[in-house]
Each structure stands twice: as C-alpha cells, then as structure tokens.
Amino acid sequence: MNSTVMSNLADMPSEWFRIFLIILFIIIVLIGLIGNTLVLLSVSTHHIKIRRSSTNLLLVNMSCADLIILSFNMLDIIQFSYDHSWPTAWYLGLFLCKMCRYFQVLGCYVSVQTLLAISIERYISIIHPVKISHVNRRKRLLFVFILIWSIGIIMASPNLFLLTLHTHINRPEYYVCGLSDHLTYSSIILFYKYIESILFFYIPISVQTVLYIIICRNIFMVERAVQANYRSEQLQQSTASDSHRPFSGTKMSSLVQTPINENNNNNNMSLMPMITPRIPTHITISNSTQKNGDTARKHAIIMLLLVAILYFIAFSPAQINFIYVQINHLHHLYENRLFFIISILLALSSTAFNPILFYIFSRFFRHKFNIILRSLCSICRVHSRRQNNYPMV
C-alpha cells in the first residue's frame, strides 16, 4: 500500500509536467495558426498593389509553409497527449506516418528557401537596384515560387520511402514512426541527411549571414552620407541667407533699440521687423520622407534578420543530434525526452512567433492586423446582439 502511494506521488510531477506541455503546445499552435492566417489575409485583401511587394509575397509564402508545419504537428501533439510513456507510440498507421512527416519536412524546406530568397531579394534591391529594374516582378516571383516548392517537394520525397513503423527497445509492443532502422537503408539515410544539412541549414545560414552583413553595412554608410549631405545643405543655406541679409545683427539690434520721436516724419523707419531665413519647404519634406523611409527600411531588415535567426536556432537541435550521432553511434539525442520536447517547442515557436515579429516591426502588418481583428470583433458583437434579440419561443 505504501509503495503504491509513493509511486503515485512520484508520478505526479511528470503527469503535471505533461499536462503543462500539452497546454503549451496547444497555445503555440493556436497562436501560429491565427497569426499566419492574419498574414495571408493582410496581403491578399489589400487593394494597394505597392503593398504586395516581393518581400510581402515571400513572407506570405513562408506563412503557408508554417501553416503546413503547424497543422501536421497537431497529430503528434494529439498522440503525445494520449500516450503517457516514452517514446510516444504512433497509432495512426503507416500512411499517415509517411504523409505527416513528409509535409513537416516539406514545410521546413520551403521556409528556409523562402528566407534565403528574401535575403537575396533584399540584397539585390538595396545594393544593386538597377539590375532587376528591367525584370518583370510578377514573372520573377512566379519563377521563385515554382523553384522553391519544386525543390521542397523533390527533396522531401525520400521520406515517403524511408519512413516506416518500427518497434523501439524501450517499448517493443508499440510502433514508432521514424526513419527505417534496416541496415539496407542506413547508407542511403546517412547520405540523405548529409545533403539535407548542407542544402537546408549550412548553405542558407552562411549565405544569409554574408548578405545581411553587407546590407547592414550599406545602410549604415548611406545613413552617414545622408546626414553629412544634410548638414552641408544646412550650412550652405545659412551662409547664403547671411550674405543676402541687408543688415547685420548688430546694426539691426541697435536700430530696434533706438527710441523713435513721435514728431519725426520718418515713420517708415520705425521698428523694422527682424528678417529670419526660411528653409524651403520641399527640402524639409524630402528630408523627413527620406528619414521615415530609412527608418522603415531598417525596421524591415531587423525583422527579417530576427526571423532568420529564430529559424536557425529553432532547427539547430536536429543538426546537433546529427553531429552527435556521427560521433557517438550508440544512440540519438532524440531518445532523451527532454531534448525531444525542447526541439519540438523551438520548431513550433519559430513558425508561430514570426507573425508577432511582423506585427512589432512592420507598420503595414500592424495596421492590417488591427483592421482585421477589429472587423472580426465587430462581427462577433453584431452576431451576439442578434442572438440576444432573438425572440424566445
């Protein structure tokens, strides 16, 4: 009796921790589904074509990939909540095992390629804007989208053949969804994982690091040049106004301070107003507009940089596990439940928190999110009023 009570008490923290994780998973998935849907609605419902820029459309493409990842991760969350043991058993059959993992991998491949395309697009538009001015934007984006999804579909397809249901040492009575542990496929899986790491992790992170360093350096240099040019213009304007002023400051002040006799006939000389130079309005407006444009551009670069950093942090555990397996051939880090949970949380957080970054750093997305949410709230209020006013029978 005492041993039973002690075992139940020992299991309580793990059970409460599992419930906490389930709630946390559900919250992250809901935030991701709502946020990425708002991103799609923000661009698709906007009537101004300029807001459907290349970067915004690429962000929509990434949101589509994130929605795929979140949707198919829900199956894992459901089974994680149902199964108390570890590793989590797969109850949905071989077909859903293959399809679920395939679409999860496809979403990851499309996301990282989209981030790479965004960095290249930003680099060309900021550093070499003349080179793409003659290229049709719609055709260019269509080609990029077809290329991204084609590469993703082709490169994720080996999962349809390599994934299987197999038993685990710790739970031989249950099946686990994962890559085949058959010796025949071991070399193929190893080669595939090497290609995956190089193409979808190390090359994108290296290219984006170099491009964003160049972009940030260019923006910093342009900002310094604009400030220097603005100061020189102000100095030239003040010099020109001083040279055309009819009286010096000393003479003007002495003239103003001289008392005027009421009987003096030179009334036209009394109290001449001080002449102050005025900066032309178009210069002030252009400088203000340029400053606002530079601020918006810097915010956009910061946002895209944070999205890229968040993505690579989120999916780095998979690369850490791959390196660890190559060094230690005995087992995977994913066999550790805590490591697996952290990996899933990071991956889901990356796909769910991107819209939050869009809201913080992009004035356009913040404005559109607020409009959509307000319209939804007004619809809910109207619906609730109709329900309350409905006659009771």
Q: Which tokens sit at 391? A: 């006659």
> In the prediction, which pLDDT does 38 show?
93
Phi, psi (rounded to 5 degrees) for 336: -80, 120
Burial (CB < 10 A; 0-12, 13-18, 19+), residue 331, is exposed
What percentage of the chain reaches a pLDDT higher than 70? 70
What does DSSP assign to residue 223? H
Does the pLDDT value for residue 151 go beyond 90? yes
The gap from C-alpha 257 to its chain's centroid, in whole angstroms, comes to 64
Does the pLDDT value for residue 104 go beyond 70? yes
Higher pLDDT, 54 or 202: 202
CB atoms within 10 A of CB 266: 8
The gap from C-alpha 73 to its chain's centroid, in whole angstroms, comes to 19
Higher pLDDT, 161 or 169: 161
pTM: 0.77
pLDDT tens sequence across 265-286 = 444 444 334 434 444 444 444 5
CA distances (Å), origin 133, targets 136, 251, 301? 8, 57, 21
Does the pLDDT value for residue 330 go beyond 60? no
CA quadruple 353, 71, 55, 356: dihedral, nearest 10: -20
Q: Which domains does the chain have, with CATH numbers?
A: 21-240+291-387 (1.20.1070.10)
